[in-house]
Structure 1
């Protein structure tokens, strides 16, 4: 049976790792293990960091789970299976980094590299959406259009999931978006705005998991 797992459940099942043939990661800075490192080194040969947004130095979660089970979560442009890029949105140009490849494009790039035949026994992680909310916070979405915007986020994420499934993917890890009202970007928001964003984040997560369940994956 095809499966979509939540993050906590997937990480708690230690014995499941033996069933995976490989691991692939798609998303934003929360999973990016250093995609921009080559660029940083080209602009500053003395750069001593790891090119990560959330932990530098140190592993992101994708590296921890992959290394634990003997897989490679290095960036795909450095020989690994990690397509995630800091600043990526689910669909469309990146947030802050306009060249960041969206989650949808990351998945399509992977499928193109394998001629549309995904590794049936690999674990695929899709984790994005936070930057879509930050983009919305900057006033790029009118208040009246917010419900449709959320619906589009869900539809695009589901589209990536179903394309993976259609290509043969069996195990899909689908973490929920964390509450971005705890981020530095949200520190300047009013209490009313914070409450609204928190509600919208929960609504997005609920819609995504409801549609994932209804789709049969």
Structure 2
């Protein structure tokens, strides 16, 4: 997701955050990771699209943080330093900053048509080979649907390429009819993506829900905070229903849902348990204070997490889809992050 629009350890800890801890999705190795998403997952596609211009320093490597993002940490937890490249560099991370669940992206930067529809089309056109038993498909979208609707009064279109139109009624997202239409469109788009990828042979899915957009530094304490929190929760409710129905229907596939909303809420309620030293300010606007805290803040900018927070998310993603024999070891590894708040490497530029 991008900053746009005015609206804006251990077993007990894992369970408390609402994370899935079942070992149903038994990935003993991860040979391939396919990611469809926005700036929370962008591994460099935005930079490749813009000729290296966006996002500029001090953002890391044309990504929307000060270091790697959660899906990259997830990949590293299985494969160490084996490269995990963005799709435009020949890899399987299709995420693009600003992507919506449909056709549209955000502009600026100039990524207006690099939404979920483009990402799915790229996957189909490149037709990568993969072992379904050891491949994971991550689909993490929707915040930019909200930002685009708020900024321009439009729906983002569909995941199968139909352009969006205006919101059905006047009043923007404060009108319940418009918010409902936006949510229904987003849930339908994510459901379509799962179904299409399952038809292509995908068996293992990880579908994180949306964080609380009202609790980001960009909107915390503003008149938009409460409305964005309700919208986030409502979307997550209907997404969970849809994914549960798909999980029951797609007998050859398994969908693990990850509760991003609850995870961020847990961090914000007890940041010290995670080694987080600031949950309300933007690191990028307070570089000296953030550096003094070893970059162990929750947010890098108005809406994007720091790489320290992304590493926590990546460990929790891994815990959500563990192999049966190592779930306890994963929990111990998460405990190491949470309890010690170990020293992060300094910001890379």
Q: What interval of TM-score do these two structures reach, taking the shorter chain for normalisation?
A: 0.7 to 0.9
Runs of 4+ in 1 over 4 A off after TM superposition: 39-44, 46-49
Q: Structure 1: which 5+ residue stretches go unaligned?
A: 1-6
| 1:210 has 2:269 as partner | no
> Is the contact between residue 86 and residue 100 of structure 1 (CA under 8 Å) also seen in structure 2?
no
> Is the contact between residue 52 and residue 62 of structure 2 (CA under 8 Å) also seen in structure 1?
no
Counterpart of 1:62 in structure 2 is 71
Counterpart of 2:145 in structure 1 is 132
Could you tell me the TM-score, scaled by structure 1's length?
0.80
Counterpart of 2:116 in structure 1 is 103
Counterparts in 2 of 1:61 and 1:51: CA distance versus 1, 3 Å = same
Cα distance in structure 2, aligned partners of 1:79 and 1:108: 15
- How many matched pairs? 203
Counterparts in 2 of 1:69 and 1:179: CA distance versus 1, 3 Å = same
Q: Structure 2: which 5+ residue stretches go unaligned?
A: 1-17, 154-166, 251-349
* 1:36-81 Cα distance to aligned partner (Å, 9 max, x none): 334565559x97840011x23x211111111221254321112321
Counterpart of 1:3 in structure 2 is none
Could you tell me the TM-score, scaled by structure 2's length?
0.52
1:120 is aligned, of 119, 132, 156, to: 132
Residues 181-192 of structure 1 aligned to structure 2 (within 5 Å): 181-187=214-220, 189-190=222-223
Cα distance in structure 1, aligned partners of 2:112 and 2:148: 14
* 1:148-203 Cα distance to aligned partner (Å, 9 max, x none): 2210111111001100111111001000110111224425841xx32222111111
CA drift of 1:124 comes to 0.3
* 1:7-52 Cα distance to aligned partner (Å, 9 max, x none): 9437x86x944244311111000001111334565559x9784001
CA drift of 1:111 comes to 2.2
CA RMSD in angstroms comes to 2.9
2:228 is aligned, of 197, 201, 204, to: 197
| 1:178 has 2:211 as partner | yes
Q: Which has the higher helix share?
A: 1
Counterparts in 2 of 1:19 and 1:135: CA distance versus 1, 3 Å = same
Counterparts in 2 of 1:86 and 1:156: CA distance versus 1, 3 Å = same
Counterpart of 1:145 in structure 2 is 178
Residues 9-20 of structure 1 aligned to structure 2 (within 5 Å): 9=20, 16-20=26-30
Cα distance in structure 1, aligned partners of 2:46 and 2:146: 22
Counterpart of 1:156 in structure 2 is 189
